[in-house]
C-alpha cells in the first residue's frame, strides 16, 4: 500500500500517530503488508522537511518521527528551526541539517517527484492511501482500514494480483473518510 502525505498536513500526522502504530504492529511487522510513504510537499516548510528527511541517516524512521512529532515543530514560532532541534536529538548533526537545507538539487528532485505522482495518481487531496486500485482519502478509522486490508489479502489469497484489488469500485472514485484538505487548499 502507498500513502501520499505532506509533512504539514494535520490529518497525515493523525494517521501517523493513531493508525500507523496499529498498521505496523498487525501488518508491517508481521510481513503481511508493506507501506510506502511518498511525501508531496505543498509549501516551503513541507519541502524543507522533505529535504531534511531525505538527508537523514534513516529516512523511513525520520519520516515517521516528523509526522508523529508535528505538533512540536509545525506550530512553533520558527517551524524549521524547531524541526532541526528535534532532528538533532534524533541523531542528525547540525552540519547535516545546514547542508541539507542548502541542497537545491534535492529540492528540485522532490518537487519533480511530487508533480509526477500527482499527475500519475490523479491526486486531488491528501492523505491518500492506495491499496491496489482502491483509493482512500482522509483518515479512515483503524477498524475500517483493517477491513480493507483484509479484503485485499483475501483478494490475493484467491490468486488475484494486488494491482486488480478495488478495480470495480464505483469507477475507482476516491473513498472519502474525513474532510481531507484538497490539493488546491494547501498552497
Using one digit for the tens of pLDDT, what is the confidence trace for 42-85?
999 999 999 999 989 899 899 999 999 999 999 999 999 999 99
**CA–CA dist 29, 186 (Å, integer):** 33
Pairing of strands 128-131, 2-5: antiparallel
186: pLDDT strictly greater than 90: no
Assess whether pLDDT exceeds 60 at residue 181: no
User: What's the pLDDT score for residue 170?
Assistant: 57
Cα 51 to Cα 54: distance, rounded to the nearest angstrom: 5
pLDDT band at 187 (very low <50, low <70, confident <90, very high): very low
pLDDT at position 172 is 53
What residues does each domain of the chain span?
2-172
pLDDT band at 173 (very low <50, low <70, confident <90, very high): low
* pLDDT value of position 2: 97
Q: What is the pLDDT of residue 8?
A: 96
- 168: pLDDT confidence band, cut at 50, 70 and 90? confident
pTM: 0.86
CATH, range 2-172: 3.40.30.10
- Over range 166-173, report the average pLDDT: 68
pLDDT in tens, 121-132: 999 999 999 999
Amino acid at each position: 500500500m502507498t500513502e501520499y502525505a505532506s509533512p504539514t498536513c494535520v490529518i497525515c500526522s493523525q494517521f501517523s500517530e493513531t493508525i500507523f502504530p496499529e498498521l505496523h504492529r498487525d501488518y508491517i511487522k508481521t510481513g503481511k503488508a508493506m507501506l510506502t510513504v511518498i511525501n508531496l510537499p505543498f509549501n516551503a516548510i513541507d519541502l524543507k522537511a522533505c529535504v531534511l528527511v531525505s538527508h537523514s541517516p534513516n529516512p523511513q524512521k525520520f519520516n515517521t518521527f516528523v509526522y508523529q512529532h508535528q505538533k512540536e515543530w509545525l506550530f512553533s514560532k520558527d517551524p524549521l528551526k524547531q524541526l532541526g532541534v528535534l532532528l538533532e536529538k534524533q541523531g542528525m548533526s547540525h552540519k547535516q541539517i545546514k547542508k541539507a537545507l542548502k541542497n537545491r538539487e534535492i529540492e528540485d528532485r522532490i518537487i519533480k517527484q511530487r508533480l509526477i505522482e500527482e499527475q500519475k495518481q490523479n491526486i486531488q487531496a491528501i492523505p491518500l492511501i492506495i491499496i491496489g486500485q482502491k483509493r482512500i482519502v482522509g483518515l479512515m478509522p483503524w477498524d475500517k482500514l483493517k477491513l480493507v486490508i483484509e479484503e485485499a489479502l483475501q483478494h490475493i489469497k484467491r490468486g488475484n494480483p494486488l494491482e486488480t484489488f478495488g478495480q470495480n469500485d464505483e469507477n475507482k472514485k476516491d473513498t472519502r473518510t474525513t474532510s481531507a484538505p484538497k490539493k488546491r487548499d494547501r498552497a
